[in-house]
Amino acid sequence: MSLKITTWNINSVRLRIDQVTRFLEEQQSDVLCLQEIKCLENQFPYKPLREMGYAHIEVSGQKGYHGVATVSKLPLDRLPTSFCPVDEARHVSTKVTHSDGDFELHNFYIPAGGEVADIAVNPKFKHKLDFIEAMRCYFSGRFETGDSEQVLVGDFNIAPHENDVWSHKQLLKVISHTPLEVGLLKDFQDCHDFVDVAREILNDDEKLFSWWSYRSKDINKSDRGRRLDHIWVSQALKSAAMAGGRTGLTVHKDCRFWERPSDHAPVSLTLGL
């Protein structure tokens, strides 16, 4: 069987619920992981999604800020995980059950980290680094018990590879691409031997972006983007993630041109389970 997972920083789900339903109607994702929903659980627009067949919805909400939600056609069981050091709504962990078994799905919105890459003067940057360390500690502990089928998705707010940004040299001191962040994310990836699906499928010399600033009037012309949105899998799901090759991975850049869009484009992966 095949199963399509999409991750999308929607930048206010209530403002853009029509875009969410349009996307799901066009793409027929089985599971949609949203970040930066900017609402409480009881404010989430459940009704239009359930009417489309997405009966299973798990939300971690916060008034006006942050927040994540996992929306699924398949059954979800919430998992008791905790990553955020200051208890913000930045993750939802679930077990997804399909016809051939189940896997864990972790939906993350890692803190952006502010403007200055110095924890001595910028507590937001320290928060970001502490969040990544909490992720590393949790998954390294899990790995000690053996590999299991896991998918990690979300807005990681880090563009780790030099071709995940429009200019490696110009962004080395800009938060999201600093060597410190990139190194910590690599340590986290290595702790469970996770596969960064996009870079596993594409050549390393190929540019790939999922976010473009609202300041850019014509993102096709300047194409000054960053790859902040990620889909990773554990080794147990590597063959499933690679099954579709290039056609199995899509950055839906066209959504960035919809009316009043999010500054992030959705990213989809089809798993061949």
Instruction: Give φ, ψ of 165 to 5 degrees.
Output: -135, 160
Q: What is the pLDDT of residue 147?
A: 76
The pLDDT confidence band at residue 188, using thresholds 50, 70 and 90, is: very high
- State which residues form the domain around 239: 2-272
Give the pLDDT confidence of 115-161 residue by residue, as tens digits.
999 999 999 999 999 999 999 999 998 877 777 899 999 999 999 99
Q: Into how many domains does the chain fold?
A: 1
* pTM: predicted TM-score of the whole model, two decimal places: 0.97
Here the CATH number for the domain that contains residue 56 is 3.60.10.10
Give the pLDDT confidence of 202-261 residue by residue, as tens digits.
988 999 999 999 987 778 778 899 999 999 999 999 999 999 999 999 999 999 999 999
